[in-house]
Structure 1
């Protein structure tokens, strides 16, 4: 299969890699003069905090102006079954990249579940609109794969229009873009709009499921930025450990049974 990448995508991803590499190179860990300092360093490790807070505020403003209102309309107009089908379809599109990352992590049983879910739901679930397989697959990405391979997390980052990240997770996201079979197929067939549409719909759907949770977190936070940073790292750690982390500290993003995600890490 011929891999065709449009120039703007290549430039954007290459620029992201250069930025992440430079940030990682500049970051320094504290001297190992005691465990408390190391623990605090690992929990916070935010050497670019002034820049991150600036982009956090930019993202917050864009969310208030555009994303949250659109997510509220999306949730208000579309009934639960339709939103669940959208979520199922997006999850099904991600199964091939989940499969690749599970293979790279040596999780062959989970990789088998990914492929089983993809073929069953594509064939009998009307292209993935319905989760017929019910295999309870979880999310996997190259950032998690890098973590399994022992790559350091790197500094915390807030990326415009994307949100919380680390250098490891962000670099993994760039790699995922290039190796995702769905993106490759779309590029090879001149369907450049697929990636943008997928990103936009995924963002709106995810935001629609976190409206109340984020409002509650903001209301109860002394420092909203620091709270989101902490929750993001807890969530990433839980994903890396395949649900064996400490999810009790994470916000509940499900507000009723109909809205609850069908995929869950085991």
Structure 2
């Protein structure tokens, strides 16, 4: 959960000149009645990202080889599988829950505590599963789009889901506070490092970054919720759900 919050912080940004103009142009945008306030939150989050998160992510990339970053990423992903399993069960997706169980078992054993994603090599792809998704399956509507301080793009339902996910992963119960904080910090920096170029490109190519970010986030979320024909299982945070997925070579996993 906190990993998603930290990366969303990096996404939460806007150009000041575009912000004021965009607020006037898009006042009353369907699904975003709080746009003026959301844009102000983006400006604050941008300042924090430029001052702290992005420089740390760049330092992490420079200091840690790509092979080691992949191993760290795999371990962090593996630690999220119990949370995905719990949400799969709550949504009645029992086949996905079984696949998630197999992934966790294979990667925790043959994959050496999650360092290697052997389950994907065996054809067992990672499933999605978060509590916002579960609430959607139970019939709770999205609610207004929100740009949360620090947490970034969300909506009312998924904001509740962020809190719920914190209680659904038993690994979080087992680790002391310091262990959870370290896991969250490393995960957030790693996710930000993955998106240095793509976020820069998104900001540089957007006349109104706020609107573009909102659109990209909503497309990705709709894919995760099964509202489109695309899959949200392994979408990059800034990836267009309609684009063909890029498979990671087995040697790099």
TM-score (norm 2): 0.77
Specify whether residues 65 and 44 from structure 1 end up closer, same or farther in structure 2 by C-alpha distance, changes over 3 A only.
farther
Specify whether residues 178 and 63 from structure 1 end up closer, same or farther in structure 2 by C-alpha distance, changes over 3 A only.
same
Kindly name which structure, 1 or 2, has the bigger radius of gyration based on alpha carbons.
1
Q: Which residue of 1 aligns with 2:49?
A: 63
Specify whether residues 77 and 175 from structure 1 end up closer, same or farther in structure 2 by C-alpha distance, changes over 3 A only.
same
Structure 1 residue 164 displacement after superposition: 0.7
1:229 aligns with 2:214: yes
Q: Is the 8 A contact 2:230 2:242 kept in 1?
A: no
1:184 aligns with 2:176: no
**Secondary structure, aligned partner of 2:80:** helix
Q: Is the 8 A contact 1:213 1:251 kept in 2?
A: no
Q: Which residue of 1 aligns with 2:109?
A: 123
Q: Which residue of 2 aligns with 1:155?
A: 144
Structure 1 residue 257 displacement after superposition: 5.2
Structure 1 residue 133 displacement after superposition: 1.8
Matches within 5 A, 1:1-266: 44-134=30-120, 135-186=124-175, 191-241=176-226, 244-245=229-230, 249-250=240-241
Between stretches 173-182 and 236-245, larger displacement belongs to: 236-245
Structure 1 residue 203 displacement after superposition: 1.4
Separation of aligned partners in 1, 2:181 and 2:231: 33
Runs of at least 5 residues in structure 2 that lack an aligned partner in the other structure = 1-26, 233-238
Instruction: Give runs of ≥4 in structure 1 deviating > 4 Å.
Output: 254-258
* Residues 2-38 of structure 1 deviation map (CA, whole Å, 9 limit, x = unaligned): xxxxxxxxxxxxxxxxxxxxxxxxxxxxxxxxxxxxx
TM-score (norm 1): 0.73
**Secondary structure, aligned partner of 1:99:** helix
Structure 1 residue 80 displacement after superposition: 1.6
Equivalent pairs counted in the alignment come to 216
**Secondary structure, aligned partner of 1:133:** helix
**Secondary structure, aligned partner of 1:119:** helix
**Secondary structure, aligned partner of 2:118:** coil
